[in-house]
Chain A
Amino acid sequence: MISRAGATRIGLRIVAAVPALLGVILFAFIMMRVLPGDPAVYFASGPNAGQAEIDALRHKMGLDQSMPLQFLHYLEGLVRGDLGNSLVTGQTVTQDMRERLPASLELTLTALMFSLVISLPLGVLAAWWAGSMWDQWVRAFCSLCFCVPPFVSGILLVYLFYYMFGLAPDPTGRINIFTPLPHRVTGMLLIDFALAGDWAGWRQAAEQLILPATTMALFVIAPLTRMTRAAMLSVVNSDFIRTARAMGLPTWRIVIVYSLRNALMPVLTTIGIVFSTMMGANVLVEKIFSWPGVASYALDALVASDYAAVQGFILLMAFLFVMVNLVIDLLLSVLDPRVTVE
């Protein structure tokens, strides 16, 4: 478990991530300014705005300063926790992220949970009965899931469950606009409703969540299942499983405690990668289901050349990536006594 030395190592890991984050900040900053598009032109009052008006706007936004100077100003703001203002929403980027990140996290985490609930048993059984008919079916199912892009499966799910069967609520956001929101604690509706004890609200939020989460889950079932199967296969053929069988241990114990426990490590690493990919790539799902998350926010900001918003998004993703990897490494060191957090 985490000792004092372990805590020091974790601290060092976070410190070690700072240079990488700085690099990400610089890269995002330069990229936004190299890309075509001038936010001043975009946000001037109308297409007929004169040069004077645009120049005034540029001055107000600080865009007439030299690039290094602009960067210094941006860094200075970052130190104070100020990510700048979004021109699209008119709020600070920090405020936008605070509102939208929980929505994206809730969607991604739920989708991840769905896919794990399906892919772990599928992978475990496919490895246990490797080469059997069941193994072939799992393989086929994974291929199918992986070939259908989320924008197709998402629209298909909406068509089936909302339009044809009327089982799902309309795909417009996280919650019916007439439902009173719970007191905000985490920003994730399921958790906040549960904390408030409002189970009717919880049900509504869950219903809204099922289809987008399923859409995202379908896309990552394939890598998770295949990874579970491969990891299980290498464990199932190892010497200590043979020992466990020679000592007459019950089969379920051999599968769960001896095999899966040891196969989880590569799977966990894959989960880390999959999670990061999902966070960035769920823009399609967010668009289809009008989900007010960070990915769709970033896309809108990119189109509008909204420098601060895009940079804020990239920084947030980089930070999340660092944190997810740290958490995964910590979990690995808990799971495997031979691993220590470096």
Chain B
Amino acid sequence: MTPPILEVEDLRVSFTSPRGVSEVLHGISLSLQRGQILALVGESGSGKSVTGLSVMGLLPRQASITRGCIRFDGREITHRVPRELRGAGMAMVFQNPRAALNPTRRIRNQLADVILAHEKPTAAELHRRLAELMEQVSIADKARCLAAYPHELSGGLCQRIVIAMAIACSPDLIIADEPTTGLDVLTQKAIMDLLLDLTRARGMSMILVTHDLGMAAQYCDDVAVMNKGYIVESGRDPHALFLDPGDAYTRRLVNACPTEQSRLGPQSVSVPPASAAPLLDVRNLVKTYGRDFRAVDDVSFTIGRGESLGLIGESGSGKSTISRLVSRLINPDGGQILFGGQPIGQMPADHFYRTPLRRQIQFVFQDAAGSLNPRFTAFDAIADPIRRLQQGETSELGERVIACARSVGLPEGLLNRYPHQMSGGQCARVGIARAIAVDPQLLILDEPTAALDVLVQAEVLALLERLRREKGMSYLFVSHDLHVVRMLCSRMLILRHGKVVESGSCEEIFRQPRDAYTIDLLSAIPHFRPTGNGA
């Protein structure tokens, strides 16, 4: 049997900071055969990225390998990875592809830099190699892409370029660190299929670092589950492992992962009586940008009292624009928005905050930490809307803020902390508490869990569902994750290029999607559970 391409033995990595030394990897052991694909799964902070960086010799300066051994193709590289090995022996694909490319250098030169770093081809040969690489990563418009700067290309194209750089010198091992985070579900599928095909065709090995169990199951042969710097469980066949986890942490992770079967409570999502007048009635909504770009094109929908509606679409589909229009942060160019029977579409967005309706429609933003004022404590953040929108009723401000924090499960002791002193999940709770502080009837949630780990996401979703039941609020839930929408919403709306392509109850759409685009979306979701319809 040939020796493994990569062997990691009892790897320990420590970070040195002014506050002392802290160990983040406590003895990791891995082994990867040629042609094998290994998934490293876990939450952020579990040490999976640090493991990848250690292998590449790219650890930040304050980190060091304190014990253990890394062998690449039988060669010891623990403390020094030779430069020639990076790129030619092993390469890495990162998340956030646009930032991973040099913004001031044309794609052609960046690709050529990689080849020239390891080989000395002639000009003609280099030209041919570049064209070949573009074909291998399935980029049709070669000439334009090669001449472009990264900011002129989409995120998906940029990731293809990074992959082209990674395979340019035919490495034996590719480490892909969350390569599809931030990309749409369809682009994600295309990128992952591409990585898989290339790995198989060239007989390379791959380590896929991800928090998505579905992706790990669908694309990998082996899996290692990491938690707090340990590998808690590993084995062949991720499907089998996730279906019958042996470790308690893996089980929690698996249960938190939104799937087709996931439910938030014992009851299914409640549906309001059909006869009642809807809380929100949007008719033929239009928003144009520039001369002829229709971001929102003739969109109509209703939301009943106590109902939650999911809004699904990839980036650029107009879902965020709709959420801003409905929350009256921007002005529509056509159509009507009726809130409780009252037309609010014509009120100018600049003055909407003065109307008493501002209280009734509140917003929870995508970037939980970034949407909090960094100079406000959690208390101030929650108290701010009460002070602004309910003047004259602020006598028991303190009690109200505390009650609000309690209802979102935020410990009272955290109220005097600033955003940077809180975790992502805690910031998300503050954002939700801020939105419900003035008892709105309609809450607009713009991907509130997109930046959160699965376990935290599950907690936040459960919280949102409980709040909706307790307070009888209606939700407009914007997301690109179909499973998350299904857990929280009774009906959903699928958008593409500003138009509604399909709408209906979640159950129905999942069981029997009608539009071809919806079918694509559904089949692109990576999953690990055998499902009813044989997918």
Contact = CB atoms under 8 A, between A and B. Distances in A.
Interface of A: 238-240, 242-251, 253, 257-258, 261-262, 335-338
B519 interface: no
Contacts of B114: 247-249
A249 B162 CA distance: 14
Contacts of A258: 102, 105
Select the residue from B86, B87, B88, B102 with max chain A CB neighbours within 10 A: B102
Nearest to A336: B104
Contacts of A247: 86-87, 91, 113-114, 117, 165-166, 168
B86 A246 contact: yes
Contacts of A338: 103, 149, 151
Contact of B103 (A240, A244, A246, A253): A240
8 contacts: A239-B100, A240-B100, A242-B94, A243-B100, A247-B113, A247-B166, A248-B86, A258-B102
B87 A246 contact: yes
A67 to B, nearest CB: 45
A193 to B, nearest CB: 38
B136 to A, nearest CB: 16
Contacts of B94: 239, 242-243, 246
Contacts of B117: 247-250, 253
A242 B99 CA distance: 10
B288 to A, nearest CB: 24
B113 A243 contact: no
A337 B149 contact: yes
Interface in B98-121: 99-105, 113-114, 117-118
Contacts of B100: 239-240, 242-243
Contact of A249 (B92, B101, B113, B149): B113
Contacts of B113: 244, 247, 249, 253, 257
Contacts of B240: none
Interface of B: 56, 58, 83-88, 91-92, 94, 96, 99-105, 113-114, 117-118, 149, 151, 162, 165-166, 168-169
B84 A248 contact: yes
A250 B94 CA distance: 20
Give the 4 A-B residue pairs with the shortest CB-CB distance, closest first.
Answer: A248-B87, A248-B86, A239-B99, A246-B92
A186 to B, nearest CB: 32
A248 B83 CA distance: 5
A249 B11 CA distance: 26
Contacts of A250: 83, 117
Given A240-B102, A337-B103, 4 more contacts: A243-B100, A248-B88, A251-B83, A257-B113
Contacts of A337: 103-104, 149, 151
A240 B56 CA distance: 15
A246 to B, nearest CB: 4
Contacts of B96: 239
Contacts of A245: 58, 86
B122 to A, nearest CB: 20
B85 A248 contact: yes
A257 B364 CA distance: 42
Contacts of B118: 248
Select the residue from A247, A257, A336 with max chain B CB neighbours within 10 A: A247
B86 A240 contact: no
Select the residue from A240, A248, A258 with max chain B CB neighbours within 10 A: A248
Contacts of A239: 94, 96, 99-100
A244 B99 CA distance: 12
Contact of B58 (A240, A242, A249, A261): A242
B111 to A, nearest CB: 10
Contacts of B102: 240, 244, 258, 262
A250 B114 CA distance: 9
Contacts of B101: 240, 243
B56 A246 contact: yes
Nearest to A338: B151
A246 B151 CA distance: 21
B91 to A, nearest CB: 6
Contacts of A249: 87, 113-114, 117
Select the residue from A240, A246, A253, A336 with max chain B CB neighbours within 10 A: A246
Nearest to B60: A237
Contact of B104 (A242, A253, A262): A262
Contacts of B162: 243
Contacts of B56: 246
Given A245-B58, A246-B87, A250-B83, A335 B92 contact: no
A89 B105 CA distance: 53
B58 A246 contact: yes
Contacts of B85: 248
Nearest to B85: A248
A250 B83 CA distance: 8
A257 to B, nearest CB: 7
Nearest to A131: B61
Contacts of B86: 245-248
A249 B85 CA distance: 11
Given A245-B86, A246-B58, A337-B149, A262 B165 contact: no
B35 to A, nearest CB: 22
A257 B88 contact: no
Nearest to A264: B104
B52 to A, nearest CB: 10
A95 to B, nearest CB: 45
Select the residue from B92, B113, B162, B166 with max chain A CB neighbours within 10 A: B113
Nearest to B113: A249
Nearest to A339: B104
A337 B149 CA distance: 7
Contacts of A240: 99-103
Contacts of A242: 58, 94, 100
A129 to B, nearest CB: 10
Nearest to A259: B102
Contacts of B58: 242, 245-246
